[in-house]
């Protein structure tokens, strides 16, 4: 009987690291701290051979002198002493994409945490990796240290996923849950998040939902066997949510969360269509996502046999994200490749974007209006003419240092297209001083 080789008999997995920022430094620390454990689980040792970053002299809290320094990171793929390239630079295009393409073309495995690149170019890279018979791994691109990519691709592989939704951006969740706890408004809470390092100096990708949309597009591709279609994600962020909205949601028994959701619908002609949305929603206090606070992420997947699956944990940070990167490296070391998106790219089904107007549900609307007689009658008339039934209506009081007031309402269960029609009717009105805020109410 042939005995299996011990890890001492196997050559080390030789790694090139592009990008030694927070996550890259965390990966080095993890491999130093857990070297024996990682080698035992991978079946071989892991060895960082070369690194590349923008500033060589920057203090990153880890010793880089033991690795070869490469100024041009795109040269890493051409090295003969490298088995796998880890890309932690970021950005959908540019040097990161060039490195990814050249790594796969050179017959080397690629591990990346770059959600923007996978959301925009994932189909191209996956097809190239399949053709070259090399691994393309991106667990760290979605939800930090939560193994949701592996969970969907492997753990739930026997299920038809019927719906996937969750909280995919820690910065937005930190801001919303802090507003909830303190009563502060958005601008003040964002400034606090930036001071604490929870938000970037330019927070646009986070607070406007783009980061969550990148992640949702990737998860939808895996969950539904569809080609990634990031441009089809309907995206709205949290920058227009006010403290008054948080307070009103609380009074109604809800919290506000930025929710990413996707599911497949059958169109009138019998074809499958994919709905992908990122937008702030009211979540019942009894729902699992209502209890996700701070910078935590959570993903819910509903399988036809598994039922509801909840993945929750740290969605960012050096430790959690480095953990996901090294988990991918362990798969590469074991020789576990597989196709990146569960099925070969040639079998991924392009799906048209679903139209959401026919969907029914309760809706929260908040209007900023001029403080003058007749405004409420104007709003309620538009709702009546559009077939929207009003469940409750509250005039919330004057906006500080202005002649505006906030009017909030909850609409009864009804089609979303009726809400859209009511807003069209109100569009020409001079009574509305800002675009209305519309949030769906998630069923418990």
All residues at 6 or more sequence positions from 96 whose CB lies less than 8 Å from its CB, including other chains: 18, 87, 89, 90, 112, 114, 117
Helix (H) or strand (E) holding 419: helix 416-426
CB 332 within 8 A of CB 84: yes
User: What is the per-residue pLDDT for 3?
Assistant: 47
Is 215 among the residues known to form the active site? yes
> In CATH, what number does 148-314 get?
3.30.360.10
Report strand pairing: 296-303 vs 161-167: antiparallel
> In CATH, what number does 360-441 get?
3.30.70.260
Quote the CA–CA distance of 424 and 438 in Å, as a whole number.
Answer: 13
pLDDT over threshold 90, residue 177:
yes
Lateral strand order in the sheet of 46-52 = 68-69, 46-52, 13-18, 84-87, 109-112, 136-137
Least confident window among 150-154, 268-272, 376-380: 268-272
| Phi-psi group of 401: left, alpha or beta (phi > 0 → left; psi -120 to 50 → alpha; rest → beta) | left
Catalytic residue chosen out of the listed positions 115, 137, 215, 279: 215
User: What is the per-residue pLDDT for 196?
Assistant: 84
User: What is the per-residue pLDDT for 395?
Assistant: 72
Q: What are phi and psi of 406, to 5 degrees?
A: -100, 135
Please, which pLDDT band fits residue 384 given cuts at 50, 70 and 90?
very high
Instruction: Dump pLDDT digits (tens) for 385-444.
Output: 999 999 988 876 666 666 788 899 999 999 999 999 999 999 999 999 999 999 999 987
All residues at 6 or more sequence positions from 402 whose CB lies less than 8 Å from its CB, including other chains: none
Of residues 5 and 110, the one with the higher pLDDT is 110
Range list of β-strands (E), 7-93: 13-18, 46-52, 68-69, 84-87
**Architecture field, domain 9-141:** 3-Layer(aba) Sandwich (3.40)
Instruction: Dump pLDDT digits (tens) for 227-280.
Output: 999 999 999 999 999 999 999 999 999 999 999 999 988 777 778 889 999 999
For residues 43-49, average pLDDT: 96
User: What is the per-residue pLDDT for 250?
Assistant: 92
Quote the CA–CA distance of 197 and 28 in Å, as a whole number.
Answer: 21
DSSP assignment of 22-40 equals: HHHHHHHHHHHHTHHHHHH
Report strand pairing: 13-18 vs 84-87: parallel
Q: List b or e across 128-139, with b for residues whose CB sees 16 or more CB atoms inside 10 angstroms.
A: bbbebebbbbbb
Instruction: Provide the β-strand partners of residue 311.
Output: 299
Domain ranges of the chain: 9-141, 148-314, 360-441
User: What is the per-residue pLDDT for 399?
Assistant: 66
Of residues 59 and 130, the one with the higher pLDDT is 130
User: What is the per-residue pLDDT for 272?
Assistant: 84
Quote the CA–CA distance of 16 and 302 in Å, as a whole number.
Answer: 37
Report the chain's mean pLDDT, rounded to a whole number. Answer: 91
Quote the CA–CA distance of 275 and 359 in Å, as a whole number.
Answer: 11
Of residues 380 and 8, the one with the higher pLDDT is 380
Q: Is the pTM of this model over 0.85?
A: yes
For residues 35-39, average pLDDT: 96
Query: Helix 170-182 to helix 186-195 angle, to the nearest 10 degrees?
Result: 120
User: What is the per-residue pLDDT for 396?
Assistant: 67
CB 233 within 8 A of CB 210: no
- Are the folds of 9-141 and 148-314 the same? no
Would you call 195 exposed, middle or buried from its count of C-beta atoms within 10 A (0-12, 13-18, 19+)?
exposed
User: What is the per-residue pLDDT for 2?
Assistant: 44
For residues 48-64, average pLDDT: 90
pLDDT over threshold 70, residue 372:
yes
């Amino acid at each position: 009987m042939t005995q299996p080789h011990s890890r001492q008999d196997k050559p080390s997995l030789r790694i090139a690291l592009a990008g030694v920022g927070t996550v890259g430094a965390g990966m080095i620390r993890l491999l130093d701290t857990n070297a024996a454990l990682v080698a035992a689980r991978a079946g071989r040792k892991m060895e960082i051979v070369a690194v590349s970053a923008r500033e060589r002299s920057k203090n990153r809290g880890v010793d880089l002198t033991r690795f070869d320094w490469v100024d041009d990171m795109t040269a890493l793929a051409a090295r003969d002493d490298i088995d796998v390239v880890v890309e932690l630079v970021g950005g959908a295009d540019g040097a990161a994409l060039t490195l990814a393409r050249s790594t796969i073309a050179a017959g080397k495995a690629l591990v990346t945490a770059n959600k923007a690149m996978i959301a925009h170019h994932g189909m191209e890279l996956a097809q190239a990796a399949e053709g070259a018979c090399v691994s393309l791994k991106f667990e760290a691109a979605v939800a930090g240290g939560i193994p949701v990519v592996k969970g969907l691709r492997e753990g739930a592989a026997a299920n038809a996923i019927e719906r996937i939704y969750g909280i995919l951006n820690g910065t937005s969740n930190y801001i919303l849950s802090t507003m909830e706890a303190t009563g502060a408004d958005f601008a003040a809470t964002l400034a606090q998040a930036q001071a604490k390092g929870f938000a970037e100096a330019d927070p646009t990708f986070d607070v406007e939902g783009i980061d969550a949309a990148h992640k949702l597009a990737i998860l939808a591709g895996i969950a539904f066997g569809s080609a990634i279609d990031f441009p089809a994600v309907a995206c709205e962020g949290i920058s227009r949510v006010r403290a008054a909205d948080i307070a009103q949601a609380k009074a109604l028994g809800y919290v506000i969360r930025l929710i990413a959701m996707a599911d497949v619908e059958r169109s009138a002609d019998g074809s499958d269509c994919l709905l992908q949305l990122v937008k702030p929603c009211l979540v019942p206090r009894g729902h699992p996502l209502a209890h996700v606070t701070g910078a935590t992420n959570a993903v819910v997947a509903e399988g036809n046999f598994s039922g509801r699956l909840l993945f929750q944990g740290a969605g960012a940070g050096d430790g959690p994200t480095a953990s996901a990167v090294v988990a991918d490296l362990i798969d590469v070391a074991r020789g576990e490749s597989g196709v990146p998106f569960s099925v070969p790219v040639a079998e991924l089904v392009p799906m048209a974007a679903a139209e959401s107007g026919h969907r029914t549900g309760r809706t929260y609307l908040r209007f900023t209006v001029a403080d003058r007689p007749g405004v409420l009658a104007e709003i309620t008339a538009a709702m009546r003419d559009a077939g929207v039934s009003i469940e409750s209506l509250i005039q919330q009081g004057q906006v500080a240092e202005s002649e505006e007031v906030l009017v909030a309402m909850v609409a009864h269960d009804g089609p979303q297209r009726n809400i859209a029609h009511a807003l069209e009717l109100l569009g020409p009105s001079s009574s509305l001083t800002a675009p209305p805020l519309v949030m769906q109410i998630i069923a418990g």
